[in-house]
Structure 1
Amino acid sequence: MRQTILAVLSLSTLAALLTGCGGDMVLLNSKGPVASGQSNLMMTAIYLMLLVVIPSIIMALWFGWKYRASNKDADYKPTWAHSTAIEIVVWGIPVIIIGILAYLTWWGSHQYDPYRPLDSEKKPLTVQVIAEQFKWIFIYPEQQIATINEVRFPEKTPVNFQITSNFTMNSFFIPALSGQVYAMAGMKTQLHMLADNVGTYRGFSSNYSGYGFTQMRFKAHSVTEAEFTNWVDAVKAGKGTSINPEAVDKPVLDKAVFATLKDGDRSKHQIEAMVNNAHTAKEKEAAEKAERLGPFPTKPYPVTYYSSVEPNLFDSVINHYMGNYHGVDHDAAHADAEHAASVGE
């Protein structure tokens, strides 16, 4: 029995460590109505499932103890085969719980649909998000500014994120404020979010998208309306470093500058191996391209503020991948992008 108890305690401790208990429990410490609702929904589902799991574990241990070989007082019924009461319990309770979970899933999928606008008296702030290799680009179309690896918004104000990708599929995630939403090339996904209070929250890519995807981290700042207005004015004036001394101020984000932001997708050692092992013309061409793009970053791209942004830049990124559906030569468009990148360098 002692060994059984020790085994159960060891497995429980291991499970707690694997689930992150005692560490960053951000999913259970939500700071916005969307994330809070999703967290409550998740915990409600867990509690309902524990109504079956916990009794099952207790009964498994208790039955093993009660009907052990050394217990001569335990009932011995070799001809026992059926119990209606047990059948009702072991089938009825799980069916009821599954029914409740099905309703909660249906209700929650509509209530916390990322495309569903949030109810608020305040006008939503629109922020366009582009997953780049390997960084996050945020465009404020109404304010006509852009940032890299940092997003700011007023507290208690709905934020409408419009999300796409300029390379492979990725995932946009601010766990304290909302669920994750995929960013896909040629598509626009949405996420509506709101922060209850001021604060700084962690954002990152939650989907593996290449060797440098771990560098796709950013900070989401919820600030007062006055602080947000001051920040926007400072960025427009090219003085964003007065708000964030660690940031870099730049003038304009247009298509030519945007094309230079893509990082290489291979490590330094991989590029060296490609160059050394290149023998055919095709292999040499691939090695030269890898050298030109360079290795993926070993640390996140610095926070950058652009005082202005080219109109419809976000839409042009989507249309670049949709061009072949409208009679445009996709290879030619890709060549134009590479030419713009070389000019920007």
Structure 2
Amino acid sequence: MRQTILAVLSLSAMAALLTGCGGDMVLLNSKGPVAQGQSDLMMTAIYLMLLVVIPSALMAVWFGWKYRASNKDADYKPTWAHSTAIEVVVWGIPVIIIGILAWLTWWGSHKYDPYRPIESDKAPLTVQVIAEQFKWIFIYPEQNIATVNELRFPEKTPVSLRLTSNFTMNSFFIPALSGQIYAMAGMQTHLNFLANETSPAEGYRGFSSNYSGYGFSQMRFRAHSVTDAQFAEWVNAVKAGNGTSINPEAVQKTVLDQAEFATLRDGNRSKHQIEAMLAHAETDKQKEAAALAEAEGPYPTKPHPVTYYSSVEPKLFESVINKYMSNYHGADHSAAGHEAAASEAHANAGHATASVGE
């Protein structure tokens, strides 16, 4: 009986939290059609499951009270073994609910597929996202600018993200706007969302929801939904090298090229680990590893400051993907690899021509 009461109280507390009584539950306070649809699916699934859970909990309490030892009017049937009506209820209702949940899962998986473009009269804004160690880099190829740990976009405009990773697998998540999507090295994933309104001054929370190392908890950023005019003003300010006029706390830089991109990587060891490696390195291999760890530095203890770049090296996003594809099936897919392959093919053709001439 005590376990049943505790179960009922736990379910009641959970229901109160999910309905918003426990504060601003971001998953149930969606600001876009994708997140709102996913939230509705989640609540529908919870309500359907409660159709089984709540009656079961109530009947457990009622049966315990009705068939208590002091109730002499309760039926006593020690030889009872089967009831068709009970079997139909016990098996039929869960089967119906599972069937409905299966249909909702199939429908929702297609309706809110992260790769599915959002229908809108406005053209989508394309943003390339790189999960770096341990920060998020956003490249706007059409605007030719880039940011670190800040995503800005106009309200009521579809945003089309292209995501990859420059180290281990990560998970990109803005709870108020969409579901999460993985970013993986050597691959490109897609995520589409739209904000119905402008965001608060502090923006919407964005973060990594997949453990990827000691510094992953610092992979936090802010997503700002602004008006079309504010977005154009921000783009122009960043391109002019004056992005701090929009966000005084940001750092403004010039170009995001390969050299600058390499400096954005954080280390994955603590300061004490690096000191221990340096102190105990004996072999050449250990010394090399210790020197590399010292050069990378320790993992961050706070998020990387918001940084703006007024221009971006062309094809930087593609180069990150190609770097991890260079050994795919033994082929070099980088630009240098293509040039080398072309030169080798040209030389082989020349050699074959000379052989035929001989």
TM over 0.5, yes or no? yes
Q: For the residues of structure 1 that align with 2:296 and 2:16, how far apart are their CA atoms?
A: 40
Identity of aligned residues (%): 76
Q: For the residues of structure 2 that align with 1:135 and 1:219, how far apart are their CA atoms?
A: 12
* 1:67-78 superposed matches below 5 A: 67-78=67-78
Q: Which residue of 1 aligns with 2:47?
A: 47
Moved more, 8-17 or 19-28: 8-17
Deviations for 1:236-264, whole angstroms, at most 9, x for unmatched residues?
A: 00000000000010000011110111000
Aligned partner of residue 211 in structure 2, secondary structure: coil
Which of residues 274, 277, 280 in structure 1 aligns to 2:277? 274
Deviations for 1:23-80, whole angstroms, at most 9, x for unmatched residues?
A: 4400000000000000001100110111011111111121122222333222110111
Q: Which residue of 2 aligns with 1:321?
A: 324
Corresponding position: 1:161 with 2:161: yes
Moved more, 245-254 or 53-62: 53-62
Deviation at 1:6, TM superposition (A): 6.5
Q: For the residues of structure 2 that align with 1:182 and 1:105, how far apart are their CA atoms?
A: 20
In structure 2, give the amino acid aligned to 1:81: A
* 1:252-291 superposed matches below 5 A: 252-291=255-294
Q: For the residues of structure 2 that align with 1:295 and 1:169, how far apart are their CA atoms?
A: 20
Deviation at 1:194, TM superposition (A): 0.2
Alpha carbons of 1:21 and 1:271: their partners in 2 closer, same or farther (altered >3 Å)?
farther
- Which runs of 5 or more structure 2 residues have no equivalent in the other structure? 338-358
Q: For the residues of structure 1 that align with 2:255 and 2:138, how far apart are their CA atoms?
A: 13
Moved more, 14-23 or 69-78: 14-23
Q: For the residues of structure 2 that align with 1:171 and 1:207, how far apart are their CA atoms?
A: 5
Deviation at 1:282, TM superposition (A): 2.2
* 1:90-105 superposed matches below 5 A: 90-105=90-105
In structure 2, give the amino acid aligned to 1:198: T
Deviation at 1:8, TM superposition (A): 5.0
In structure 2, give the amino acid aligned to 1:141: P
TM-score w.r.t. the length of structure 1 is 0.91
Deviation at 1:7, TM superposition (A): 3.6
Root-mean-square deviation over aligned CA pairs? 2.2
Conserved 8 A contact 2:155-2:198: yes
Corresponding position: 1:294 with 2:293: no
Aligned partner of residue 270 in structure 1, secondary structure: helix
Aligned partner of residue 56 in structure 1, secondary structure: helix
Q: Which residue of 2 aligns with 1:59?
A: 59
Q: Which residue of 1 aligns with 2:344?
A: none
Aligned partner of residue 86 in structure 2, secondary structure: helix
Q: Which residue of 2 aligns with 1:185?
A: 185
Alpha carbons of 1:289 and 1:24: their partners in 2 closer, same or farther (altered >3 Å)?
farther
TM-score w.r.t. the length of structure 2 is 0.88
- Which runs of 5 or more structure 1 residues have no equivalent in the other structure? 334-345
Q: Which residue of 2 aligns with 1:147?
A: 147
Conserved 8 A contact 2:172-2:180: yes
Aligned partner of residue 69 in structure 1, secondary structure: coil
Deviations for 1:292-318, whole angstroms, at most 9, x for unmatched residues?
A: 111011110000000000111000000
Q: Which residue of 2 aligns with 1:112?
A: 112
In structure 2, give the amino acid aligned to 1:328: D
Q: For the residues of structure 2 that align with 1:24 and 1:309, how far apart are their CA atoms?
A: 38
Q: For the residues of structure 1 that align with 2:13 and 2:273, how far apart are their CA atoms?
A: 37
Q: For the residues of structure 2 that align with 1:220 and 1:45, how far apart are their CA atoms?
A: 29
Deviation at 1:211, TM superposition (A): 0.3
In structure 1, give the amino acid aligned to 2:309: Y
Which of residues 230, 233, 236 in structure 2 aligns to 1:233? 236
Aligned partner of residue 252 in structure 1, secondary structure: strand
Deviation at 1:327, TM superposition (A): 2.3
Alpha carbons of 1:47 and 1:11: their partners in 2 closer, same or farther (altered >3 Å)?
closer
Q: For the residues of structure 2 that align with 1:42 and 1:265, how far apart are their CA atoms?
A: 36
In structure 2, give the amino acid aligned to 1:164: T
Q: For the residues of structure 1 that align with 2:308 and 2:333, how far apart are their CA atoms?
A: 33
Corresponding position: 1:308 with 2:314: no
Q: Which residue of 2 aligns with 1:171?
A: 171
Q: For the residues of structure 2 that align with 1:327 and 1:51, how far apart are their CA atoms?
A: 56
Moved more, 4-13 or 68-77: 4-13
Moved more, 285-294 or 34-43: 285-294
Deviation at 1:227, TM superposition (A): 0.4
Alpha carbons of 1:51 and 1:155: their partners in 2 closer, same or farther (altered >3 Å)?
same
